[in-house]
Structure 1
Amino acid sequence: MSGPEEMTNLFERGFQGLEDRARECAQRFNGAVDHINDWRYLLGPTMLAINPALDVIREGLEKMFNLIRKAVEHHAPVVSLIWQSFNWLEKVQQPVNGLGHQAVDTDLAANWSGHAATAYSQRFTSQHEAMVAVATKADSVSKWLMDIAKYNIEYMTELSKMATGFLGALVAAGIESATVIGIPFAVKDLAGAIGTLVTQQLDNLVGIAKRFAEALSKVRDIMSLMTDMKLPNQAWPQAVNG
């Protein structure tokens, strides 16, 4: 199983160069627009077809920039969540799993009888069941935290692929160096490529976001774990009252 350092590094790699790629996408698009404007008089009526295609490209880039901006804003909390999920696993779940009562066959257990023995047996059973219940809850909480961290990493990975795809399409189009004759075709091809990328990547991101939302919706289930008949009044079954 991956540790917090490995998962954090995986998440950080999704961020590594993400803003740089976005910045380069903007620079290449602006360079392409400048190049087109330099030849707008010779392009003449073809500008009527070029401008709508440029709008498609611009809208696609804006969608990506907004997604990156939001991801950067929520970067630190996700890193913290990754570490807390492992902290819960190591500092809560594992210690609790080791606290279960073990039945032992001793002379005392074999010969002890009466009210004290009966009371001990009842408390032993209730406390053991409570321990099992707590261990199960700890496992559920740990898995829930890990799922949320995992979906955040998946989201960042897909967003990084989106930025890489946009940049690759802009480089392949080479509008900033295209001839007057080649400009309309290059813009049309780029608009088509960007439109396809936007559709595919947004579908992927929406799918991840839905799974993330489903995980968050289970917060009610996590809260309901606090209610359990094995933990009377949300407290540990006491051996002695008074």
Structure 2
Amino acid sequence: MIGMPGSEDLIGPLNQAFNGLEEKTQESVDKFNSAVSHINEWGVVLGPFIFAIEPAVEFIRVKLSELVKLVRAAVEHHMPVVSLIVQSFSWAENVQRPVNNLTHTFGNNLYDWEGKASGAYKDKAGKQNEAIGAVANKADQVSRWLIDIAQYNVDYMTELAKMATGFLGALVSASLETSTVVNIPFAVSDLAGAIGDVVAKSLDNLVGIAKRFVAALSKVRDLISYMTDQKLPQGRWPQAVEG
């Protein structure tokens, strides 16, 4: 039996993306620093080749710095994103669902009555039902918006984790820190190419996710407009009895 998705269905993948992310990034930094030290040790032997490989080394350094910044920013926002996911589902459970159960019913029972009092009650109750329907619809739209925002955060983190894994994998495969002096120029060139492929693909995906995220955030003005509606008498919840 398949149940309705809950907050854990988003929090689980989010935490999984964070799992080992900082460690992988730090390992990439350590391997790069070891590679640079190794190259410098053979600087005299490499001679003019040292200048030829400098652009590629700098390219790798820049891309690694970009990864480090992205990871640091993500780690800083880990708990707020988890809180957002929890609140998204809390809204659906504690606001949207109860509102849907507030409507009045008019059946034939012992409490039915006729006359002006009955007509006034049914008129007020009818307006309340209409208002409840409007509020329930708004609650649903707010809930969907919150969950969309949460999902984009999960998608972003998942892609960032792939980027960190790919970056480290390229450094491990290159084994630049243990390359022979003859292989250093080729290893640097291959590593720069591999890093470029990893970063280009991941950044394209990250930018795409970020654009969807920003587009969703732009709907905040729509959410504010939900506070007013022609179905809400005088812009507020209708009262059956006014003092």
Interval of TM-score (by shorter of Structure 1 and Structure 2): over 0.9
AA matched with 1:86: F
Equivalent runs, 1:48-127 vs 2, <5 Å: 48-106=51-109, 112-113=114-115, 115-127=116-128
Structure 2 Cα separation of the partners of residues 121 and 236 of structure 1: 16
Deviations 1:192-218 (A, max 9, x none): 111122211111111111111111111
**2:18 aligned with 1:35, yes or no?**
no
Could you list the structure 1 runs, at least 4 aligned residues long, displaced by more than 6 angstroms after superposition: none
CA shift, 1:134, in A, is 1.1
Partner of 1:9: helix, strand, or coil? helix
CA shift, 1:124, in A, is 2.2
Partner of 2:47: helix, strand, or coil? helix
Structure 1 Cα separation of the partners of residues 173 and 223 of structure 2: 49
Q: Which residue of structure 2 aligns with residue 211 of structure 1?
A: 212
Structure 2 Cα separation of the partners of residues 150 and 221 of structure 1: 19
| Cα root mean square deviation, aligned | 1.5
CA shift, 1:2, in A, is 2.6
Deviations 1:159-190 (A, max 9, x none): 00000000000011111111111110110011
The aligned length equals 240
Give the TM-score taking structure 1 as reference length.
0.94
Equivalent runs, 1:143-158 vs 2, <5 Å: 143-158=144-159
CA shift, 1:95, in A, is 1.0
Structure 1 Cα separation of the partners of residues 235 and 57 of structure 2: 61
Structure with the higher fraction of residues in helix conformation? 1
Give the TM-score taking structure 2 as reference length.
0.94
**2:1 aligned with 1:7, yes or no?**
no
AA matched with 2:191: L
Structure 2 Cα separation of the partners of residues 180 and 20 of structure 1: 29
Deviations 1:70-124 (A, max 9, x none): 1111111111111111111111111111111223135875x724x3333233212
Percentage of matched positions with identical amino acids: 57
Structure 1 Cα separation of the partners of residues 226 and 98 of structure 2: 19
